[in-house]
Structure 1
């Protein structure tokens, strides 16, 4: 079925054609997050959030808005507040699972973090159904089945910025510190279109979650006759009214789901409708098919101008050689045999009056075709967005004079931001015979300006290279043959699988190194250590020798029990334990320091909230907890030291607990070690009884430490319960 006047063809270039009673673009993240905060705070029935990322740490509102709001500003606090305030509300979070490639920006243990921070009526699921190499790239939020947000923005790190995009901003603070200006576009809709989004989101949810179908609310106000819904965000008046819309998707072949390339078909069809101005702003422009379609239309329509706005410099080698190298080829195809005054392929930058420069990062996915069509979506002009990622673009058609006027306003507003002009001045320039040349000429100094891209300064690689095949593929990276002779794409590995694999790899490497050391280092054996210690006995170097042995042994994960028995065997039942505990404390402190460095470098993040919970228990139990752990042979000595350094416990607490937990068993080990030596030198019932007594004492101390640790934990829990009763 096609809508009269529009090019929308369901099943060809779109999934559904519908209408939005109201629609408003939300330009740049400060506006989107503010609007999202407002709608979430108003929610009464349900909230669905689907995204490439959903980061629990993000502050949605800042400044006066944050100071004056009764609702929390951080999204995890906001959703927890909403869920506790209204136990009948259901909140569903669907986030892409695979995140290893984005370790520095994304929360590694997202599900566990959300489960820990929110009540039971907030359910989090990680989507692992995407084929290898692809990503879940749709960004959708639905409130009460009455309001939907969709476009290019996730609730993620390094996204927030205001429309003026200052060169420096303390509020632009990400995991790696301050980031530069970033531009993006989302939109909010009400009306029948919301039901279509609600159907799409529920389909995605049921593919991953183990739950019953979730009905769309029957009494939701999302018909053409309904007014502005209650959950519509404050401070954002509708731009479009009764506007015809279409939803175009990209869905890859996954788990026998039929692939869909509606986005690709829609963009090609839209380009063929252009007469005067095509405006594009997009994160990536690497799809040569799109460049060919633009060039062909430029040749067919002599009055047509094309304006493309993207980013200046690539982030990392993969982006450079995959997308920037491809943009060189995209530009060549676009400009081929066409008057260059009719085309701008540009980036937006600023050099302020203090001489500070900044380049605006473009993350939006927007296209306008004259004043007839406006696309706000999630799709880049890349291979992966056309075939491999899950995408959703909303296309609005200028079915009335009012809506056509606002499509033109959207284009002019965006160009005004990128060129430092007013919307009114930009609108006048766009009416000239050659709007592309007019918009790039006469730009003012010390404001944002558009400049033609020159990607050869970043790379001379051809676009057809290994980086592109990995970063911007058209097909899944790995596919397995099936019994019917077809092929099934292999899914992206689950985050849990990745982490288990990393853990197994680390253990295998450590085990291999220890085996290699035991076979290759002649002095790393009990006999060699005994001989080395024997040479120092009775000299001034006895204690330094023991300390050196413990220090090196700790770094090589050599068993501390073997060291303790060896030291006792050489230095006797008195000085052996004394030297041993000093060596153990030195080894503990050194490995603790290494653990502290590793923890600060990111191992705490890899460990996730479960490790954090253990960390908190260790910190709360303090000296006694460490002593109990030391008495129990539950993990290698050096590993405990390393993990303690990664944790939040203090060095003094750790060493004090180590002393209390190790010195009593050290005395028992001293008796055992000395008894072994005496048996070899002078076997007798007396020396054998010392050995048996030492082993029994050692066992009793382990048993006693278990009893004591259990009693101590029960006592603390009892005290905590009494304290809570008193507060209640």
Structure 2
């Protein structure tokens, strides 16, 4: 049967299965009461296979798009009654429902049921019992599964290619957090911006874009906190300093982050930290760990102090077996990077406080401080002498000299109701993994810390509407709904043993589908939609990078080519993932990124040929890497040692050039909508059951790309980024 494109949303419900039999058990086809009796004894005694745990999955060909929770002690007629809101961008001939039995290692297939995609394309609801079949498509006894499906093509979506459109845009549906109004957002490029770096960038209403300084603002926020400082990080390093610009000194600015947090805790501020527990940094043998996150150093530093620092491992629900889960706990991470503090109100006379949160890609650790100059050698005797970071060469060190690895990143500060959502995310995580209940009871401080409320008037043209998104599951966050019905309303989906939030991926899909003119992405990784890769040399189904973002981008471009409209996707990625370039892991990621790009360019080329358009596909989709080269100046730092001869390290030092490491996780759509967070464009970040992530998505309702191009803060931020990367401002940047 020919495959057809499903691009839109599939609403599916798996109600129940009937008359199942398990051919892999001696009692598998016995009467129900005998089966339950045998399984109950096995469960109690601890021998045999124990109670049968049955679940069902939904696949579009070989791409898994949904799964139910497990039903125990109901091996014949399990009832799930679970609904799914599935974004799809897949070629498929059938929607496949598989009924499985969970095992300690792997799973056993009972059988599969098939519904032809052709029957869905008219958009009508299908409610049907389907035969469950074996591998030869022959029915397995009387086994059946009851399902309901309805397909909504993307072209029927009233938001498709129409942008945000109006101030009444409600945000991304089916999410745990609703969109908040009356917010304020501050956008940051890199950890610091020197004075006078950004040229004049005109905005609407006669204003000019003004840059902000991330680590200075975080230093001020922590220093001025009076009640709470909550921090999560992939890595938090106590020895860094946040203020380093000699032209912008601050009182007490030379204090290390660790000293600052200890000082605030000793003053009575509740300082709580959740830092990822790198399981590879165990004991004396691997103190640094594979990732060099300093997790054990940080915990030891705060031991016995008033700072409560908890190392939390990532125990994800990846629908794997016990054996798989053991390896996953060392593979996947807590990747959220947030700071939440209480902050003074703008009018200095008030004693009241409000919540302010920081969200983005910057960890508070070594190797992250940088400016738009991204110096390789010239800061080695000052800013970066005690913060030398170069993990791409073996045995690189400040003693042997540069180039250091320059670091480009993006972060944000959130004020208003959205800041409380970030706080609530921290509280959920602390209640799950923080151990002792040390969270401040903010209800008891309601006279001091004002409850969630707008910080901008509705008529203020600088106001923001913002929504919080996550990749996380119930293993890392307390308080997810218990029932499938409540979970579905909140946009949550079932995993093996947990409820999963993957709203970051949903937010990207929604924003891409709304896009009208262009999309600008900066990300540390760019790989996914592996179900559409060419199978040369691999089995795409074994890769498992199933998230939709690359395919959605390709289909967006294809739709614009078919409509005869101009559209471009710009993507900035690092030249290679951080690490030794020839290592197996780096080469594997580069190969997957190449396959992702190949898939996208294939779609675009075929669309151009079908329309008879002679154009370069790179006019529609183009990738960039950043690099720097520095001419030697007098008075530079002189290393006391030399790199080993004839190595990449020595060659880079001689050529005085190196890549700028792009660590950002950002997307801008039509200069009117922006997503900033911790999530990479890979399966780990977009899955929900792997790395834990957080992101904001927002727009300024008075600065939309409706009749005229948007000229609010998002436009100014993009122009500042392009000036940083290209060293110039050109009129063509106004309409990319």
TM-score in terms of structure 1 length:
0.53
State the partner residue of 1:305: 568
1:396 aligns with 2:582: no
Aligned-partner SS, 2:626: strand
State yes or no: 1:128 paired with 2:313: yes
* SS at structure 1 position matched to 2:246: helix
C-alpha distance after superposition, 1:538-573 (max 9, x if no partner): xxxxxxxxxxxxxxxxxxxxxxxxxxxxxxxxxxxx
- Between stretches 357-366 and 75-84, larger displacement belongs to 75-84
Matched with 1:291 is 550
Aligned CA RMSD, in angstroms, stands at: 2.7
**Does structure 2 retain, via aligned residues, the 8 Å contact 1:24–1:189?**
yes
Compute the displacement of 1:27 (Å).
1.2
Residues 246-325 of structure 1 aligned to structure 2 (within 5 Å): 246-252=467-473, 254=475, 256-288=497-529, 289-301=548-560, 302-314=565-577, 315-316=579-580, 317-325=583-591
The aligned residue for residue 366 of structure 2 is 157
Question: What whole-Å deviation, never above 9, does each CA across 1:267-306 have from its counterpart, x for those lacking one?
Answer: 1111111111100000000122322111110011231111
**Residues 578-612 of structure 1: CA deviation (Å, up to 9, x unaligned):** xxxxxxxxxxxxxxxxxxxxxxxxxxxxxxxxxxx
> Residue by residue, what CA displacement relative to the aligned partner does 1:394-422 show, whole Å, maximum 9, x if unpaired?
00123112885211112221122111114
Cα separation, partners in 2 of 1:24 and 1:127, compared to 1, 3 Å? same
The answer as to 2:377 corresponding to 1:214 is: no
Q: 1:139, 1:20 → 2: CA distance? A: 24
Match of 1:550 in 2: none
- Work out the CA distance in 2 between the residues paired with 1:104 and 1:267: 28
Residues 305 and 67 of structure 1, relative CA distance in 2, 3 Å threshold: closer
Q: 1:79 Cα deviation (Å)?
A: 1.1
* TM value normalised by structure 2: 0.53
SS of equivalent to 1:146: strand
Paired residues, what number? 413
Following the alignment from structure 1 to structure 2, what is the Cα–Cα distance between the partners of residues 4 and 405?
14
Q: Distance in 2 between matches of 1:77 and 1:128?
A: 25
| Residues 1:196 and 1:318: Cα distance change in structure 2 (over 3 Å) | farther
Q: Indicate the structure (1 or 2) with the bigger Cα radius of gyration.
A: 1
Q: Which runs of 5+ in 1 are unaligned?
A: 229-238, 436-728
Q: 1:202 aligns with which of 398, 406, 427?
A: 427
Q: Mark the runs of 5 or more structure 2 residues left unpaired by the alignment.
A: 1-163, 193-212, 282-288, 317-327, 343-353, 390-395, 399-403, 477-496, 530-547, 606-616, 633-654, 705-709
Q: Distance in 2 between matches of 1:222 and 1:330?
A: 45
Deviation string 1:190-236 (CA, Å, 9 cap, x unpaired) is: 111111111110110111122235323423246545479xxxxxxxx
Whether 2:257 is the aligned partner of 1:95: answer: no
CA 1:331 to 1:46, structure 2 compared with 1: closer, same or farther past 3 Å? same
The one of 699, 716, 721 equivalent to 1:409 is 716
Question: What is the CA–CA distance in structure 1 between the aligned matches of 2:255 and 2:600, rounded to whole Å?
Answer: 44
> Which deviates the most, 262-271 or 57-66?
57-66
SS, match of residue 470 in structure 2:
strand
Q: Secondary structure at the match of 1:279?
A: strand
Higher relative contact order (CA 8 A, sep 6+): 2
Q: What are the residue-to-residue correspondences of 1:118-517 with 2, within 5 Å?
A: 119-120=305-306, 122-131=307-316, 132=328, 133-144=331-342, 146-168=355-377, 169-170=379-380, 171-172=383-384, 173-174=387-388, 177-178=397-398, 179-212=404-437, 214-216=440-442, 217-218=445-446, 219-221=448-450, 223-224=452-453, 226=455, 241-252=462-473, 254=475, 256-288=497-529, 289-301=548-560, 302-314=565-577, 315-316=579-580, 317-336=583-602, 337-338=604-605, 339-353=617-631, 356-387=656-687, 388-401=690-703, 405-422=712-729, 425=730, 428-432=731-735, 435=736
Q: Secondary structure at the match of 1:80?
A: helix
Using the TM superposition, give the Cα deviation of residue 253 of structure 1 relative to its aligned residue in structure 2, in angstroms. Answer: 5.8
Shift of 1:325: 1.2
Question: Structure 1 residues 254 and 429, CA, compared in 2 at 3 Å: closer, same or farther?
Answer: same
Equivalent residues in 2 for 1:582-621, closer than 5 Å: none
Measure the CA separation in 2 of the matches of 1:95 and 1:127.
6
| Compared CA separation, residues 328 and 152, structure 1 to 2 (3 A) | same
Q: Secondary structure at the match of 2:499?
A: coil
Distance 1:375 1:335, change over 3 A: same
Q: How far apart are residue 5 of structure 1 and its match?
A: 3.8
> How far is the alpha carbon of 1:99 from its aligned partner?
4.9
- 1:552 maps to none
Contact 1:306 1:344 in 2 (8 A): yes
Q: How far apart are the structure 1 equivalents of 2:570 and 2:299?
A: 44
Matches within 5 A, 1:28-43: 28-30=190-192, 31-43=213-225
Deviation at 1:114, TM superposition (A): 3.0
1:136 is paired with a residue of what secondary structure?
Answer: coil
Using the TM superposition, give the Cα deviation of residue 68 of structure 1 relative to its aligned residue in structure 2, in angstroms: 4.4
* Distance (Å, rounded) in 2 between the aligned partners of 1:265 and 1:75: 35
C-alpha distance in 1 between matches for 2:173 and 2:441: 24
